[in-house]
Amino acid sequence: MKRVLWILGGTILIAAAIALWTASRPVSWSEQEIAALRSLWIGSLPPLPPDPSNAYADNPQAAAFGQALFFDTRFSANGKVACATCHLPDKLFNDGLPLAQGVGTTTRRTMTIIGAAYSPWLFWDGRKDSLWAQALGPMESPVEHGGTRTQYAHLIDEQYRAQYEAVFGDLPDLSDQTRFPRAAGPVDDPEARAAWEAMTLADREIATRIYVNMGKAIAAYERLIAPGPSRFDQYVAALLENDREAMQSALTKDEVAGLRLFIGRADCIKCHNGPLFTNNEFHNTGVPAADGLPADDGRASGVDQVIQDEFNCLSQWSDAGETGCADLRFVVSTGEQLAGAFKPPTLRNVAESAPYMHAGQFSTLAEVLQHYNHPPFAPLGRSELEPLGLTAAELAQLESFLRALSGPLNTPAELLASPQP
Amino acid sequence: MKKQTVTVIATSVITVLVVLAAIIIFLPTLGPRYLHPLMMGDQPAPTSLDMSNSRLSDNGLYRVSWASDPSSPPLNQIHAWTIHIETAEGQPVAGAEVSVSGGMPQHGHGLPTNPQVTQDLGNGDYLVEGMKFQMPGWWEVRFDITAAGQNDTIIFNLTLK
Ligand SMILES: [Cu+2]
């Protein structure tokens, strides 16, 4: 009897000692893991890449003009829609909706513009190759701003002449409304389209030049919207300085465990890599089609559109020579891997940007992680995901890590609202 | 055998069993670091890979080397390489037709771009534009070279951080 007690006591003691030792052991990262953490760290964010296609990209006057345009609802069919209607600064330039609401309803979810200046491809399917060309999409989309380029040219003439001319030089005379109708553009609306086709090529180019310059000014503004450090970034900064205490106050044990999964077994870093947590390429993750919408073929159509885009980097409206357009010149334009592929969104501030995916298919992060843990067959093409086999506890850790990626913008407050005249 | 000895041995054996059982039960929560690298999602590249950037082509026809600008290939950034082709005897190869491909053997995908040789720089040097890597890990880059009617292939390995 006594012996049994001894054995029992001894076992408990040793087990307790082992438990204590493992628990008190500081988390350690291998050299390879530290390299991965550093690559995700906001401190690794390089300076903004130049945009050779936009000669005004870093012009402060152009940015101020662009900011005014970004918030001005007059640039729409009904006087109620501006870029900021869907990209709300106080919602981290998102709108919180599964599908965006402009003049009509879009078939995709609004993306943030934070950090978009780093991406060679814009939109979920990358059908635009610069911020300025991107901005010209929603303005003539029948479900977003719903207006036309001659309407906008007249508005610039009447409301923004001085600001426009200070950056882009003299505005041509648009007063002859038989040459420049109030509503004309290459849009879906048959009347506006007919009016556009009736204009001379030279007049169309005059209107298009003004339109392009609006895009370039808006792009200059968007380039100033930058992400700021999150608790994850504080953790990495502390790790690089070997400051254990600061590491512990930056992230909890669960968050660190989630981070370890993110860069390790769950392999999220395959696609969500670099300091913006996206490689800005295109991947099929088999997200189911949204209710009531057909399956979206994503990049497969997007790449054809960008190659044919009137405003792409190689177009007459671009300021780049051929050498400035490497992404477009060497783009992969065929192959089954493009079907149903989308651009991975940044995961910075992901906790604040529900719902998720290209058509808001998932409303919580828990649903997103369920999808990654048990990936279904893709509605189109082939999903690149493999089952992860994570436990419920691990999924919770991964989620808590994603929640540690929130942080304030690194952008002055006066850029986050309509400019005061 | 002494009674004490039996006690000590039994204690150790039971402890080991308990600890093993605990590790197995809690493995999913403990995380992969206890079984590294067996449980890492991204398996490390085979250690026997030749990572050098100057090699002889498969059939020994050409010696090829590459240099990237910037000098270590960046993640997610389109950039250019220069490759140098010479015969096994060290004569620069002029006028070669070169096609470029590649990918990640462990992920089963190719390059995200369609890189091309855009310029014969002379002296056996060729400019390769449109190189891009969008994931950290082990990559292969393959050049198919035809010069003077002779065809050979070379595959370089590299690891992106
Ligand atoms: Cu890969």
A93 CA distance to ligand 1 middle (Å):
30
A300 CA distance to ligand 1 middle (Å):
19
Q: pLDDT band for position B2 (50/70/90)?
A: confident
Per the prediction, chain A carries an average pLDDT of 95
Same domain, B78 and B145: yes
- pTM recorded for the entire structure: 0.90
pLDDT of residue B33: 40
Q: Write out the residue range of the structural domain in which residue B15 sits.
A: 1-41
Angle between helices A161-168 and A201-222 in degrees, nearest 10: 90
Q: What is the mean pLDDT of residues A238-250?
A: 96
Dump strand ranges (E) for A238-334.
none
pLDDT of residue A26: 60
Same domain, B85 and B28: no
Residue A275 to residue B161: CA distance in whole angstroms: 13
Same domain, B34 and B73: no
- Residue A7 CA neighbour count, 13 Å, CB half: 18
Same domain, B36 and B58: no
Same domain, B3 and B70: no
- Tell whether B91 lies on the interface with A, counting CB pairs under 8 A: no
Statement: residue A155 has pLDDT above 90: yes
Q: What's the structural domain count of chain B? A: 2
Angle at A249 between CA A243 and CA A255, to 5 degrees: 105
What percent of chain A shows pLDDT beyond 70?
98
- Tell whether B27 lies on the interface with A, counting CB pairs under 8 A: no
Chain segment A128-138, per-residue pLDDT in tens: 999 999 999 99
Best A7, A38, A285 residue to mutate vs chain B (most B CBs within 10 Å): A7
Same domain, B92 and B26: no
Higher pLDDT, residue A227 or A17: A227
Who among B18, B40, B76 is closest to A11 (CB)?
A: B18
Residue contact A6–B76, C-beta within 8 A:
no
Q: Could you state, in order of their start, the residue ranges of all structural domains in chain A?
A: 28-45+230-298+339-403, 60-226
Chain segment A73-101, per-residue pLDDT in tens: 999 999 999 999 999 999 999 999 999 99
Q: pLDDT band for position A4 (50/70/90)?
A: confident
**Chain A CB contacts of B109 below 8 Å:** 337, 384
Chain segment A191-205, per-residue pLDDT in tens: 999 999 999 999 999
Q: Does B46 map to a domain?
A: no
Same domain, B72 and B141: yes
B127 CA distance to ligand 1 middle (Å):
25
Higher pLDDT, residue B22 or A374: A374
Same domain, B141 and B65: yes
pLDDT of residue B4: 80
- Tell whether B15 lies on the interface with A, counting CB pairs under 8 A: yes
pLDDT of residue B37: 38
pLDDT of residue A371: 98
End-to-end, the C-alpha distance of chain A in Å comes to: 90
Q: What is the mean pLDDT of residues A395-412?
A: 97
Same domain, B61 and B35: no
Q: Does B48 map to a domain?
A: no
Q: In which element (H, E) is residue A349 found?
A: none
Q: Does B127 map to a domain?
A: yes
Same domain, B63 and B10: no
pLDDT of residue B46: 78
pLDDT of residue B81: 98
Q: Which residue has the tokens 């004309």?
A: A184
pLDDT of residue A84: 97
Selection from A288, A279, A132, A161 nearest residue A220 by Cα: A132
Same domain, B71 and B133: yes
The CATH number of residue B91's host domain is 2.60.40.1080
pLDDT of residue B35: 43
Class of domain A28-45+230-298+339-403: mainly alpha
Alpha-carbon A45 to chain mean position: 15
Q: Does B47 map to a domain?
A: no
Superfamily name and number for A60-226: Cytochrome c-like domain (1.10.760.10)
Statement: residue A105 has pLDDT above 50: yes
Chain segment B8-56, per-residue pLDDT in tens: 788 888 877 877 777 666 655 444 444 443 344 456 677 788 999 999 9
Statement: residue A345 has pLDDT above 70: yes
Same domain, B92 and B145: yes
Chain segment B48-105, per-residue pLDDT in tens: 889 999 999 999 999 999 999 999 999 999 999 999 999 999 999 999 999 999 999 9
Q: What is the mean pLDDT of residues A17-26?
A: 66
In a 3-state reduction of DSSP, which class is residue A133?
Answer: helix
pLDDT of residue B27: 56
- Tell whether B129 lies on the interface with A, counting CB pairs under 8 A: yes
How many H helices and E strands in chain B?
A: 1, 9
